[in-house]
Structure formats: structure tokens, C-alpha cells
Chain A
Amino acid sequence: MTEQRSSGRLFLLALMLGLVQPWASAQGTGYVSSEKDHAITVLDLKTQAVTGTLGTCKRPRHLQLTPDGKQLLVACSESNQADVIDLATRKSVRRFSLGDNPEAFDISPDGKTLYVSQEDEGTLIFVDAATGKTLQTVPVGKEPEGVKVTRDGKTVYVSSEVANLVHVVDVASAKLLKNIKVGKRPRRFALTPDGSQLWVTNELDASVSIIDTQDHTVAGTLRFELKGARASDITPVGITMSRDGKRAFVALGRANHVALVDVATRKVSDMVLVGKRPWSVALDAAEKTLYVVNGLSDDLTIVDVASAKALKTVKVGRVPYTVVLVE
């Protein structure tokens, strides 16, 4: 009893001195887009509290950092724009057109080109990041969603929710190289660090299709199961991978859980209960904490990866969409 108490005191003391942390709280800032507020919620990762909001263009959805890490790019579906936010001043420095109803995008490794899916048109456009000019338009299946550029910058993958295809687009020629049939309603991508596997979430198939990027065929399918939930209630969307490519994290939508996946064996190691319709996921730099955006409960769940437990839920804006971490 006494021993326990004194060790508890020691722990508290150590905590005050900053020697140990009760959980791995990252230093830095989280940015969460919220579709219905036309704003980005700013989260202090250390205190895990919302410190303010940044106004941006209308209906912000996908967010990404520029390759130099200095700017945040926001894709706004209602105002058909990109908003460029300087992270040092947290001010919008530039806006440019992103075509018609942009949903998701990726940035070329050199930061010069954006690849943007146009939800209404059913096209993938190449946009010059400096001038905002559309350089190329590639027709793809309807409701294109996830966009992913390979590390060498030569290939772009885009998913079509209607056609149930992953399109392989050659950057140099702006032509479709191949259409790969995957599961129903493919959404988001993760590439393994060696670039050999492309993982794509299938929202209406409770699965991830794993594509071999050598021959562009589906090499395997990871199917999610959750005790007490029917397959139709498991609707995976957001996905990310650890830097070593050993673990993947998949938001399971209506199942209200995030799956922690062992990439090598393609098996789920843990399921973590989070908020309603978890959507986008982001891992901190230490890869100890996972941030999960819950689209239908207007909040963000902070998950400790090691214990596979939700630590805290933070209220953010209305219909949050993407979370990006800057550490």
C-alpha cells in the first residue's frame, strides 16, 4: 500500500519534471478540416485541446502538407479551390482553382504538380501548383476518390467509386495504363514504403484490396470482421501505414472502430472503438499515437497504438473530414 503510494508519487513527480509521459503525447499541431464550417480546427497535440480555427475556402475536405512541410494545402469542394495556408503564420497565402468539385488530391514528389480527383466530372486533373493552371485532364470512372502518386512520381493511382476500379495513370503521357478491378466502392490508398504494394479500402466490401504494383494485379484481399457487427456495417475508408511498412491503420466507418493491421500477415491485430463513422486517420511522428476523425460525431479520437486503446475524444468542427499532423 505504502509502496504503491510512494511509487505513485514518484511517478507524479517524474511527470511534473517531464521525465515520463502518461502516454505518448506528441509536440505539435493537428489540423482537422470540417466540411460544414468552411474552417480548419487547430488542435494542440501536447495538451490535446482545440486552440482555435482557421477560416478557409468553402467545404474543405482533403488536406495535405506540401513536400517541404511549410504549407498546408486544402481542397475545397464547394468553392472548387485549393487554399494554401502558410503554417508559420497560419494565414492563407494563395488560392487557386482546382477544377469542378475537387475531392481528394496528391502532390508530386517535387511539389510542382497536384493530382486532383473531380468527383462530378469523373476526371483526374493535373494542376500546376505554382500557377494553378490545369495541365492535363484524364477521364476516369465516375466519382473518383483516392489519389496516390508513387515515390518516383511516374505513376498516379486513382480510385473510382462507381466503376469499382483503380486506374493506373502514367504521368508522362497522362494516359490510363490499366484499370484494376477491386472491391465495391474503392476509396483511399496506402503504399508500402518499398512501393511494392498498393492498399485500397473498399467501402462497401468490408475489405482492403492489395495490389501488386509490379504487374498491377490484385495480390490479395484483407477482409474485416468485427464481433457483433455485420459485414454490411463495416465500411472502411481512411488508411495509413507506419514508416517501416509493418502496420496499417484502417478506419472502418459505420462499424465505429479502427483496425490495426499487421501488414506482412495481412491480419487484424486489434480493433479500437472510436467515434461515429471514423473516416480519416493520421499517425504521429513517433508512431505511438493515432488520430482518428469521426465524421458523424463531429469529434476526433486519440488512440494509443501500443495498448490499442482510445485515450481521449476531442470535439472538433461540423462533419470533420481529414486530419493532418505537423510536429
Chain B
Amino acid sequence: MNKLWRGLLMAAAMPAAAANFKVTWLAPADDPRLERTRIERAALGHPAGPALDALRVALAEGRFELDTAGATLQLTQVEVSDAAAAKAAATKAEKDGAAAVVTDLPAAWTLAASDGTKLPVLNVGAAADTLRQADCRRNLFHLGLSDRMRSDALAQALTVRRWSNVLLLSGPGEVDRERSATAQASIKRYGLKLVANRPFKLSADPRERELANTLLLTQGSYDVVWVVDSDGEFALTLPYRTALPRPVVGDAGLVAVAWSPHFERFGAPQVTRRLRKAAGRPMDAHDWPAWMAGKALVAAAVVTPKGPAAAFQKALAEVELDGSKGVSMNFRAWDGQLRQPVLLSDGRSVIDLAPVDGVMHPKNALDTLGADAPEKLCKAR
């Protein structure tokens, strides 16, 4: 376990005179995503280390702007072990005078935290679309990609390539069931054809070979195999083991991510290097949303350096952010999701950017990724 995660309270060193905004970071105790074998497996889109490192980088690089405006941000780190603890920690943060809460938690815990406080909750860890739809909240903002944004980005890439016939392989468990439904919605949205949706299972049992053998699973006729596998172990073994010589996309092969250390444009290498300098690893997909949360907090504090909290919260909801993806980004009014380009990467380079060239939208092409306003899936906003 990283030392950074043990400390309960860590305050950033800031001059005392200026107006101060307190921020509480909530993350899981003994985070299973950060177990050594998982980090070493380095599946695309999975955490490569504690995302708090990236938030710290954003606060450090915001110092000039904060100093100029006469504001400071003070960070408190709290580890929680379940949804109830997340909720209690959010309530306590508000009571202690915090201005915002940042969460890197599972979806249910994130929801509990946002129900525990009226403060803005910046979600950097949970990709579940329910948090942007049925379970959306007025105070809940999302910096990372939703599953729907990721699958829309992939579907766009398949559409321009005319890889129209998709074989979907879906993992076991509730999360993958939901993500498989999301992938199918994107396949439908972009007019691709679902050839088949087959369940898979990690197993060496010969009686289950229909579920586990990649050659058997990939029989048939298709242009591309789309694998939905939150765990990642099965997906990583799939490329080059398909019955037909076809590319794999989804959770292996070509993967939709919020950031890649191989991204070369828009000043991206500098951002990647700043985290490497601070934490010894390059910025990756899971770090970028935390870095952006820090940037959003800095931007709001710069606009309202004297507060009050209500003005800070309003400024936070209206921030325009530069995240080194070439466009200015802001939160969607209808679900609190940060509009953003999506990178499509094979882990070696950035193959494509979504929205892909040619995809159009009446207002903002970024809204072709994820649930759009007319879908009205979030009732709380």
C-alpha cells in the first residue's frame, strides 16, 4: 500500500493570509484497484496508482493563479471502507467547513457521498452511467468518462472504419451486464450491426469451454470483436486469439480512455511528465480526471477568491477548463458530466480522437459522446 494513502490528514502548505477553500478527498481504504498484480497487469483504463497524486499536481500548478487571485486550497484526505462511511465522511466535511468533496469511489459509494452533503461532489472514479442518469444529483459532477461516453467513442471509430458487424463478448457480473447494455446502445446509436452477444467466463474447466475458449467464442462472421470485461484479465488474452483475423476493441485492443501517456498533442506530454516528476509514473487514464478535478477547484477559487461558498459552488458548475485535449471543457447542465474528447488507444499510441472527424451535432460535437440533453435521463437536474 502506498504511503500516500496511509496519512489521514494532509494539508497543502499554503500561506495563511489569503481566503482558504477546504477540499476533502475520499478514496477507498485498501483500494483493491491498487493491488500490486492489478497495477502490474496495467490494463488500459485501469488505475496505475493513486489518483490523488494527480490532484496534488493540479493544486501545485494552480499556485500562481491562486496567489494572483489571493486564494488558497487546502486538501484533506479521508479513507472510507463502505458506502455508509463515504456518506458520513461527506457530511463531516461539510460540517468542518469544506467547500467541495472529491471522490474516487465505486458508484454506490459515490452516490452515498453525494447524498451525505449539499457540497459539490466531484466524481473522478466512477464511470457508471446510472450516476449520470437515474441516480444523478444536483451536486454531483463527473470529471472522468462515463461508460456510455467510452462506448460511443468506440462506436464512432468503428463507424468511420466501416467495421460494421460487431461480435460482442460480455463478462459476468452486474457491472458488465450494465456495460454490455451500454455498448449495445452505442452500437445501435451509430447504426452498427450486433452479430451476436456471447457471455464469457474465465475458466479452465473443459465443461465450460463454450464460455471460456476464445476460439469457440469467436466463431461466426464479423468485422470486429468488442469485449466488455471490467476485470480485464480475459480481455487481455483475447487479441490474436480470435477464430477470425479481426481486431479486438472495448476493454482490450483499441480502448476508449480519458488520457494516455502516449498522447502527443495539445501540450499533453508536459502534463504526463509533470505527474511523472511528482509521483514517479506518467499520467494515465485514471489520473487525468483527478487532475481535472484539481483544475476545476483552482478555476472556481480564482473566480471567487473571497467566497462565499455559494458563489464558489456556482463558479465550479460553470468552469471552463483546459485539460490539454485541445478544447475548452465544461460541465453539461443536464447531468453534471464534463464534456471532453475521448482518446482511443492501444496502449502504445493514441490511434484516434472522438468525436471522430465527420460526426456532427447541432450544438456541440462533444455531446455525441454520452447521454445527450433530449434523452432527459437525469430527473434531478
Contacts and interface: CB of A to CB of B under 8 A. Distances in A.
B61 A230 contact: no
Which of A143, A165, A235, A254 has the most C-beta atoms of chain B within 10 angstroms of its own C-beta? A143
Contacts of A162: 61, 322
Given A120-B270, A230-B364, A235 B326 contact: yes
User: Which applies to chain B's interface (DSSP): helix, strand, loop or mixed?
Assistant: helix
A120 B278 CA distance: 12
B61 A184 contact: no
A141 B63 CA distance: 8
B273 interface: yes
B65 A164 contact: yes
For chain A, which range describes its interface: under 10, 10 to 19, 20 to 34, or 35 or more residues?
A: 20 to 34
Contacts of B322: 161-162, 164, 184-185, 204
A181 B68 CA distance: 8
Interface in B33-78: 61-62, 64-65, 67-69
Contact of A204 (B65, B302, B328): B328
Contacts of A230: 364
A142 B364 contact: no
Interface string B16-37: 0000000000000000000000
Interface string A97-139: 0000100000000000000000110100000000000000000
Interface residues of B, number: 19
A142 B270 contact: yes
A217 to B, nearest CB: 13
User: Which applies to chain A's interface (DSSP): helix, strand, loop or mixed?
Assistant: loop
B333 interface: no
A165 B328 contact: no
A179 B328 contact: no
Contacts of A101: 270
Contacts of A179: 64, 67-68
B327 A232 contact: yes
Please list the 4 inter-chain residue pairs (A to B) with the smallest Cβ-Cβ separation, ordered nearest first. A141-B64, A163-B64, A142-B61, A179-B68
Given A181-B69, A230-B364, 13 more contacts: A101-B270, A120-B277, A143-B267, A143-B270, A162-B61, A163-B64, A165-B64, A165-B65, A179-B67, A181-B65, A204-B322, A235-B326, A254-B326
Interface of B: 61-62, 64-65, 67-69, 267, 270, 273-274, 277, 302, 320, 322, 326-328, 364
